Amino acid sequence: MPTVVEPKLIAGNSNLPLANSIARRMSLYRGMSVGLVDARVERFNDAEIFVEVFENVRGEDMFILQSTSNPANDNLMELLIMADALRRSSAARITAVIPYFGYARQDRRTKARTPITSKLVANMIHEAGIERVLTMDLHAAQIQGFFDIPVDNLYASPIFALDVKKQFAGRESELMVVSPDVGGVARARELAKRIEAPLSIVDKRREKPGEVAEMTVIGDVKDKVCLIVDDMCDTAGTLCKAAEVLLGHGATEVHAYISHGVMSGPAVERVTNSYLKTLVFTDSIQPTEAVANTHNIRILPMAPIFAQAILNIWNGTSVSSLFETDTIGPIYEGIL
């Protein structure tokens, strides 16, 4: 088998701008051109997915770049079929780079006779021949245990912390990090530690999925600039309601830092008309034109951290080093 010389990237259709940005950042880090493997990922007339790889990948270290965002089923099938094509083409190792891992909300049985779809997807990924997964801000940390292969879960909080320190320079004493529910406290606490800010919680009660019946603020947010931290924003109902409740309890401004901008249904309209001063997403999911043009939404690039993580995996060096501010700071110097 030939010696593996360089990592090779191949991308599905879910987020081509991010895939191209990762390739450009890797070219910068390597000091040589790193491009996407020439391939076609298309659909037959009946919507079946077809993949053809035009380059030799025998013995290569392959990285598939594909978020399983909307349309989740199509993008997941693209990932699995690409993995099968690479495995049958004798790739030495296949790593799935999944910036946004879909089906992560179905990580346990909340009612009788319901599936644990996250585990099912993990099994499918393993059986397709994928040997490692690189993702970011899983909805539930225990999903890593659903896989029988290594999973590297990156975090957006170091990048959020850099952005907060720049955007709110000189106002650090006014900041208050807010978790929009009890389940997200650990995520919010992580950012609060990084920016040395206090923590508050908005306790919510749902009548049914997508609808919030009641919200209670735990903590004193009076005269504070509140930063809501969460892993995803789907219909934006909880987020916009939380902003309204926080202002009602005396907060001066409300901003939000969200890892994954799912933004389905009425989300854009809600955010546009909400009390949120700014809503910050990563580009783990390719923003729609409506999202990109919304006046109070900003997008942070994830290509630098994913490019470095891919190189670390390829080199066999630490990925967890990217959780540290001293490491991530130079990577994002001049970008944020």
Q: Among candidates 31, 50, 48, which has minimal Cα distance to 39?
A: 50
Binding positions are 46-48, 105-106, 139, 181, 206, 230, 234-238
Binding positions for Mg(2+) are 139, 181
Catalytic residue among 119, 165, 166, 204: 204
Instruction: State phi, psi for 278 to the nearest 5 degrees.
Output: -140, 150
The three-state DSSP-derived secondary structure of the chain is CCCCCCEEEEECCCCHHHHHHHHHHHHHHHCCCCCECCEEEEECCCCCEEEEECCCCCCCEEEEECCCCCCHHHHHHHHHHHHHHHHHCCCCEEEEEECCCCCCCCCCCCCCCCCCHHHHHHHHHHHCCCCEEEEECCCCHHHHHHCCCCEEEECCHHHHHHHHHHHCCCCHHHEEEEECCHHHHHHHHHHHHHHCCCEEEEEEEEEECCEEEEEEEECCCCCCEEEEEEEEECCCHHHHHHHHHHHHCCCCEEEEEEEEECCCCCHHHHHHCCCCCEEEEECCCCCCHHHHCCCCEEEECCHHHHHHHHHHHHHCCCCHHHHCHHHHHHHCCCCC
Binding positions for ATP are 46-48, 105-106
Residue in this structure with the two tokens 């910050």, named with its chain if needed: 280
Q: Among candidates 230, 333, 336, which has minimal Cα distance to 281?
A: 230
Residue 165 among the catalytic residues: no
Record the tokens describing residue 150, joined without a space.
């290594």
Binding positions for D-ribose 5-phosphate are 206, 230, 234-238
CA 204 to chain centre: 23
Q: Which residues are catalytic?
A: 204
